[in-house]
Amino acid sequence: MLFLSGGCGVLVILSLSTRTLSRRRRQALVSMEAEAMLLLLADRLAYIYRGDASTTGYYMVRITNFLVFELSLFVIHSFDIYLMDLYSHSEKVKKIPKALVLCEVLFTIGIILVVISQFTGLYYTFDAQNYYQRAAGYAVSYCVPLLIMMLQFIVIVRYRDALDNMVLTPIILFSVIPYLGAILQYFFYGLSIINICMVGMCVALYFFEIINMNNQLQARIEAERASNAKSRFLANISHEIRTPINTIMGMDEMILRENPTGVPKPYFMSVVGYAYDIKAASETLLSLINDILDISKLESGKMNLVKKEYDVTEQIRSLYTMISVRSNQKNLRFDLDIDETIPQKLYGDAGKIKQIMLNLLTNAVKYTEKGGFKLSIKVLGKENGVCRLHFSVKDTGNGIKQEDMNRLFSAFERVDEAKNSGIQGTGLGLAISKQFAELMGGKLWCESEYGQGSTFVLRWNRR
């Protein structure tokens, strides 16, 4: 028993050093092992001092027996906390099962009853030789922990689908084996079967937890490897596709620049029409390939910032020219509201900032049918040569539902597909923009009212 108790002590230290478990589950495991260790120690001392008629014996048998009863309840209580944590992390269980909360109430009652028993002799008494004797209420001392374990067992069976087998097996064993031990002990008085079962299960639970952690780690390593392979594949393939697209675009440009002299006009016009179609399609394809390349670079952590000084007015002008062509085609108003105190020159990755703004403005055109949109740039403050900038693109478009907000910035996610089915898109633009913003130490978010419009805000600090 002392050997087993020492083993539990070692497990306390090992559990404390575990980093992959949630804080609450680790605490539950640590307390369970510590309580198991003390339980065995108290059980052994109770055995050693029984029949010792000295004053030390008098106190020791009473204290150790009291501890045995209290600690066995504490072990079950820690197991309850462990279960609560398991279910609070499971997506299939919305609320912590009420039965587990009831177990906590029963645990408190059990603790109080042991204290009462200590003074009234409800559960046990001691004879003149300091020998332990079962008393009239002895069965009650069994009922409380057994009731708790039964409730725990019912919860485990009821929510069995919420946990995978590697977790389910040890917790079922935990709620059943000490139960069997308790029944045996009731009939074979003098043996500490229930305590040994409980401690054994605490140890087993720890080992199952370790196996589980190893499996999770292995799965994570494999997922990372697969994701890296995917990113490498995407990066290579998109790079390879870009080259022929550029050739197609170059050749198409040559067709558009052909001299029409001597060519029948209707023939020439239809060739030019086809060439414009090729141009539009290859531009779309190129921007798609660029987005895939960007997202795979971001995912593999290979995206770097290229910082240099750039002209802000020049950048805004170029954005305005590009976007106003499309907003005019859709008869949308495109307003600018630029803070006059914005510095003429800023330092940063101009390409990425332009890409974010271009994406937000393109989306504003794409997802707005009437009304228009506004690009605002404000200086929120200047300190030690660092400028706090606030960019926003506000539109009067479809807006975004509140429930779609958390998917908005995920790669390949398009929202409100029924309404937006006719609009071309890949769901990559916002994911790339958000990650670019974060790479630059900024923040990108969206505020929207469905049916009224959306505002995308980018905030970051620049020299």
Residues that bind ligand ADP (CB under 6 A): 359, 363-364, 367, 395, 397-398, 400, 408, 414-416, 420, 425-431, 454
Closest CB 446 distance from ligand ADP, rounded Å: 8
Q: Which is nearer to ligand ADP, 106 or 364 (CB)?
A: 364
Name the one residue in this structure whose structure tokens are 């008494």: 125
423: DSSP letter: S
Q: Which is nearer to ligand ADP, 198 or 431 (CB)?
A: 431
Closest CB 390 distance from ligand ADP, rounded Å: 18
Q: Which residues contact 359 (CB under 8 A, 6 or more apart)?
A: 429, 430, 432, 433
Closest CB 415 distance from ligand ADP, rounded Å: 4
Phi, psi dihedral angles at 344 (to 5 degrees): -65, -40
> Are 156 and 175 within 8 A, CB to CB?
yes
CA 28, CA 15: separation in Å to the nearest integer?
Answer: 10
Q: Which is nearer to ligand ADP, 130 or 238 (CB)?
A: 238
Closest CB 437 distance from ligand ADP, rounded Å: 13
Closest CB 169 distance from ligand ADP, rounded Å: 43
Alpha-carbon distance values, 216 to 62, 88, 205, 222 (Å): 46, 18, 16, 10
Q: Which is nearer to ligand ADP, 135 or 415 (CB)?
A: 415
Name the one residue in this structure whose structure tokens are 């944590």: 85
Q: Which is nearer to ligand ADP, 104 or 413 (CB)?
A: 413
Query: Quick one: the chain helix, strand, coil %, rounded to 5?
Result: 65, 15, 20
- Residue of minimal Cβ distance to ligand ADP: 425
- To the nearest 10°, report the CA torsion of 46, 51, 53, 55: 0
> Are 192 and 125 within 8 A, CB to CB?
no
End-to-end CA distance of the chain: 68
Q: Which is nearer to ligand ADP, 76 or 431 (CB)?
A: 431
Closest CB 368 distance from ligand ADP, rounded Å: 7
